[in-house]
Amino acid sequence: MPSLFPELIRRFGVSGPRYTSYPTTDHFVEAFTPDHLAQALAQRRDGAAAMMLPLSLYVHIPFCESMCYYCACDKIVTSHHEHGQAYLGYLRRETNLYTAHAGAGQSVSRMHLGGGTPTFLSDSELRELMAMLRCSFVFAPSGEYSIEVDPRTVDATRLAALRELGFNRLSFGVQDFDLAVQKAVHRVQSTEKIFSLVESARALGFESTSIDLMYGLPRQTPESFDDTLAQVIRLRPDRIALYAYTHLPERHRPQRRIIATELPTMDAKVSILSRSLSTLQHAGYVHMGMGHFALPEDSLAVAKRQGRLHRSFQGYGTHPDCDLIGLGVSAIGRVGATCSQNAKTLEEYYDYLDQGRLPVVRGLALSRDDLVRRTVIMALMCQGQLQFEPVELAHLIDFKNYFAAELTILQQMQEQGLVELSDTGIEVTPMGRFFASGAAMVFDRYLQADHKRARFSRIL
């Protein structure tokens, strides 16, 4: 990395959205109701072309056996595993509602089980869940089917059961290999077990294994995280996700157990990030954007080289942008020109389904301006470049007039060597790929209007 890189992080690595969607979820409104989503599903069902497009599924399993202090996810900490069986019953009701509105037998090309801890469910419960989904949807043979795994909840036998159920991608939550850091965030797990699990996953034929890391945690130092990265490089997973920890204890109760004085300083965080990016690239990993890396032969890196990279609520993916059905508590979905989110508590989620209604509590019907800006933002986030003419033809606008103010702001990033502006388009430079979200933020009408960026994590 050039010596200027840490200074660029300080200047452009500000707080901001990760753009798994546009508009971002903080702009969803309660005026969007289950009836609005039902209408969008019916329009998909009645559109012959839409019925030919595959779906993506996200299933949220909210339960965890223990609390990780850094966590900002929607979860329920419990040791009562009987909750899982009751939850499956309601997932079945929700799935039946979706097929009633949109039609059964639609093709699925991508599915992700997230949480919480999806492996909180027993093997028999996961088998029941997958059987239920396969009764309602047709899973494409070449699809991507992934699950988040807490290494503390599985062994080689359980991984074999997941592979048998059709999962072909695993994401292991590691965060840090340093024992002092693990103790500070209440997530102790042995290095030896993680190495053993990844080795087993490869032997079982999983197409991709991913390791999640987090920087900015208590007791971390640039030197200690160098040691963690050395372990990761020795492990050599197919993909790595490097997230920034954002300390917001007033919003996330578990974070109140973190001792604030043990958090690394901002200079230390910048150093950790700069050294991490340099180390991973030197080890041969390709940067996808937003702290995601993949080996050159991984399908994600191949999709980036071929211009097929996409971004959704499930993160970066290789399959074409498509409608997403979100199932479970707090799950987010996108159908047509609408986005929606389910109830965030079990009680409310169950209550909606007891009434025979989709459990949607908020969402958004995208405006014409939203759709134009989504096209621009996703092109910058995924392809790192944008040509004006295709956007003009698709949305019937004059790009330079429509985005005159935004192009003026981008000139500052051009002066820093992060983007290149021409008469025909915008090109994000190799260095600018690390700050692509910063360029995308320029086109975010909502963000430019309210400037309330403190609710977001840092873009790097």
Band the pLDDT of 433: cuts 50, 70, 90. confident
CATH number at residue 102: 3.80.30.20
**155 and 224 part of one domain:** yes
**299 and 271 part of one domain:** yes
Residue 431 counted as domain residue: yes
| No. of helices (H) and no. of strands (E), the chain | 18, 19
Region 190-205: what's the mean pLDDT?
A: 97
**305 and 198 part of one domain:** yes
Question: At residue 120, does pLDDT exceed 50?
Answer: yes
CATH number at residue 431: 1.10.10.920
Residue 30 counted as domain residue: yes
Question: At residue 418, does pLDDT exceed 60?
Answer: yes
Per-residue pLDDT tens over the stretch 11-59: 665 567 888 888 999 999 999 999 999 999 999 988 755 556 789 999 9
Q: Residue for token digits 């590691």?
A: 174
Q: Residue for token digits 């492990």?
A: 235
Domain boundary among 263, 298, 325: 325
Residue 332 counted as domain residue: no
Tell me what pLDDT residue 438 has.
87
Question: At residue 453, does pLDDT exceed 50?
Answer: no
Least confident of 35-44, 385-394, 426-435: 426-435
Least confident of 74-83, 307-316, 366-375: 307-316
**122 and 60 part of one domain:** yes
Domain boundary among 305, 325, 345: 325
Backbone φ, ψ for residue 146 (5° rounding): -120, 160
Which position has the higher pLDDT, 165 or 310?
Answer: 165
Q: By C-alpha distance, which of 129, 114, 140 is closest to 58?
A: 114
Q: What pTM does this model have?
A: 0.91
The percentage of residues in the chain with a pLDDT greater than 70, rounded to a whole number, is 93
**305 and 442 part of one domain:** no
Residue 358 counted as domain residue: no
Which position has the higher pLDDT, 80 or 5?
Answer: 80
Total number of domains constituting the chain: 2
Question: At residue 127, does pLDDT exceed 60?
Answer: yes
Averaged pLDDT of the chain = 91
Residue 375, amino acid? T
Least confident of 2-16, 72-86, 186-200, 354-368: 2-16
The percentage of residues in the chain with a pLDDT greater than 90, rounded to a whole number, is 73
Q: How many CB atoms lie within 10 A of CB 92?
A: 18
Please list the residues that pair with 323 across neighbouring strands.
Answer: none
Region 313-338: what's the mean pLDDT?
A: 88
Tell me what pLDDT residue 16 has.
72
Domain that holds residue 276: 24-325
Per-residue pLDDT tens over the stretch 326-373: 999 999 999 999 999 999 999 999 999 999 999 999 999 999 999 999
Tell me what pLDDT residue 295 has.
97
Tell me what pLDDT residue 51 has.
54
DSSP one-letter code for 418: S
